[in-house]
Amino acid sequence: MSDDRKKVFERFGDRLAKLEAARHEMPARWQVFHLHNALNVLETDHNAADLHLDEFDRHELEKEYPELEADRVPTVDELRSRFDLIAGGAF
């Protein structure tokens, strides 16, 4: 197994253990979603799995790197406001 692939497998195992340890706290749906997506491609494409693990880690990384805030998902109110602005009252 290549070193890069081994690192992704170890990283996946660490994230899975983190979710297992927090089982009683009900992990966020998005965490399970990204871990599931990583697992789906782990055997065949460790680079894609690594990207899914990046998404899993994004919440923690935003604390360390505030510039990631630009990539945050907007709120429903923000979506409504922007849609109303674009639609210009057409609806």
pLDDT at 89: 64
pLDDT at 68: 64
**Does the predicted TM-score (pTM) go above 0.75?**
no
Write the pLDDT tens digit of every residue in 9-51.
Answer: 999 999 999 888 887 777 778 888 889 999 999 989 999 999 9
Q: How far apart are CA 67 and CA 41, in angstroms?
A: 29
HSE of 84, CA atoms in CB hemisphere, 13 A: 6
pLDDT at 45: 94
